[in-house]
Amino acid sequence: MKLKGWKDLTPGSVILEGGNAVQFKTGSWRAFRPVWKKENCIHCLFCWIYCPDMAVNVKDGKMMDFNYDYCKGCGICALECPGKKGQTAIEMVEEGK
């Protein structure tokens, strides 16, 4: 991609394109990875609501999987996950293990 020169920039560094954070993948920062245990998931979607980015894929009101392109491994989803009968549906696993 050719980078813009100073004459081509929008004044005030305003971003004119809504929702373009999708172009900025931040998953490589992650040290811990959330792993979904489907059998313990009650599809409450707390993980989707609490995720500060867009790392939880949901379809038709159901948790589908994680999108690791945007997951920074903050662990909020794992903390909030109520699981099923005390068994968590999201476990944080160290990357590279």
Partner 1 sequence: MAKVVAVTGNEACANALRQVNPDVCGVYPITPQTDMMQKYASYVSNGKVDTEIILVESEHSSMSACIGAAAAGGRVVTATSSQGLALMWEMLHIASGDRLPIIMPVVNRALSAPLNIHGDHSDAMGARDTGWVQLWSENAQDAYDNTIQAFRIGEHMDIRLPVMVCLDGFIISHSIERMEYLEDEEVKGFVGEYKNFLPLLDLDKPKSYGPLILPDLFHEYKKAQHEVMLKVKDVVLKVAADFEKLSGRKYGLFESYRLDDADIALVILNSAAGTTTDIVDGFRARGIKAGLLKPRLFRPFPYDEVAEALGKVKAVCVMDRSDSFGGYGPVFMEISSALYPLQERPVLINRIYGLGGRDYLPEHGEAVLNELDEIAKGGKVEKYKEYIGVRE
Question: Which residues would be at the binding site for partner 1 (CB under 8 A)?
Answer: 3-7, 9-19
Residues written for the chain: 97
Which amino acid is located at 43 in the chain?
H
Q: How far apart are CA 68 and CA 64, in angstroms?
A: 13
In angstroms, give the least distance from the CB of 20 to partner 1. Answer: 8
Kind and range of the H or E run holding 76: helix 76-80
In angstroms, give the least distance from the CB of 6 to partner 1. Answer: 4
In angstroms, give the least distance from the CB of 3 to partner 1. Answer: 6
Pick 8 or 94: Cβ nearer partner 1: 8
